[in-house]
Amino acid sequence: MNARRASWLVAGLLLAALALAALGVCVGSAGFENLIGPLLNPQADPSATAMAQQIVWEIRLPRTLGAWAAGALLGLAGAVAQGLFRNPLADPFLLGSASGASLGVALALAAMGGGAGMLGGGSMMNGEMVSVFSGSALVRLGLTGAAFCGAVAAVLITLVLSRGVQHTLRLLLAGVVVGVVLAALTHLVLVFSPESLQAMQAFMLGSTSFVGWTACGLMAAVWALCALAAWLLARVLDGLSLGDATARSLGLPLGPMRAALVGVLALATGTAVAQTGLIAFVGLAAPHLVRSLVKTTSARMMLLASAMGGGLLMAADTLARWLIAPQELPVGVLTAVLGGGYLLWLMQRSARVSRGGGL
């Protein structure tokens, strides 16, 4: 029964993703505008069709698909983190990867002069940004690489401080300490490089505005690799849910498998953060939503949480573009507000259920 419900949920999430993708390409700086009609009927107005094709294929479609890919990576990382730490409140940023990525970007901006034009500008088309950076593609590559290297370095420091992955509590505490220290170092860099503040703001608030086809391809490839690794390692998460002693009795090599899961967590989180900045609550909320709909094994849970995370971020990105058009809300701010509201509602519902059980 649960397997059938999981299959229906997968189908529903994929259909929702297709519907959101169609909606996403029709929402821009002017609000909602039907661009699918000109694409389906090019003979009616060739000039409008050419403009629609350029807007859709160069701006909106890669951004919309990139939002799904980033959300899928965060949802997968969230499911891995919650299974690894056996804590439903664990999120992908627990090992300090977010703070490490922020420090990497801050250092790169300070080294490159930190002008606000590094994260903005460029040519405009129908009121929307066409080029990713007003500078060169090398700047984009440098900032992305700095964010990814910072995230991976933070996870490695966490592993060194926790003396490996054998003790999840020590690993968790080390991640919190590393996150706090690296966040403080990021603020210190910005104090000495105030010209980087405005450029850094886009990264800190989270945005899919600068995602292009290259970023989409990179995130899709990393997602496929991480999803395959997580599927192969799902057995250890099922064993860990029963306790370390039970997992060892099943003959699972917990040390190497935990290390591999941490690697999946770091790679998925680092890739998503490097492309879209800090987007909160997607990795935390996606596994919760899946659990509220179906009870399933860790293997299916990670794939379902990944699909749920992709749908959540795609919906949030479309909503962020539409709410105050022609202005745009940072999608990271929107996911934080909606995700925080969802968790508060979940807490209130759990409290009511507990009081009812006590009666």
Strand ranges (E), 18-68: 27-28, 31-32
Q: What is the pLDDT of residue 124?
A: 40
If we measure between CA atoms, which residue out of 303, 288, 274 comes closest to residue 103?
274
Tokens of 94: 């627990």
Q: Is 1.10.3470.10 the CATH classification of the domain at 2-351? A: yes
pLDDT value at residue 68: 95
What is the rounded CA–CA span in Å between residue 58 and residue 286?
Answer: 29
DSSP string, 97-157: HHHHHHHHHHHHHHHTT--GGGGS---EETTEE-SS-SS-HHHHHHHHHHHHHHHHHHHHH
**Would you state the pLDDT for residue 59?**
82
Alpha-carbon distance of 321 to 28, in angstroms, equals 6
Domain spans of the chain? 2-351
Q: SS3 of 164, please?
A: coil
Q: What pLDDT shows up at residue 116? A: 43
Bridge-based pairing of strands 31-32 and 27-28 is antiparallel
What's the confidence (pLDDT) of residue 43?
Answer: 61
CB neighbourhood size of 113 (10 A): 12
pLDDT of residue 125: 44
DSSP 246-288: HHHHTT--HHHHHHHHHHHHHHHHHHHHHHH----SHHHHHHH
Rounded Cα distance, 32 and 42, in Å: 20
- Average pLDDT per run of 10 along the chain, which is 359 residues long? 77 89 78 66 65 78 93 94 84 87 88 58 42 49 82 88 77 89 92 82 84 89 93 84 70 78 88 88 90 86 92 92 83 87 78 61
Position 257 scores a pLDDT of: 82
Token representation of residue 215: 């970023």
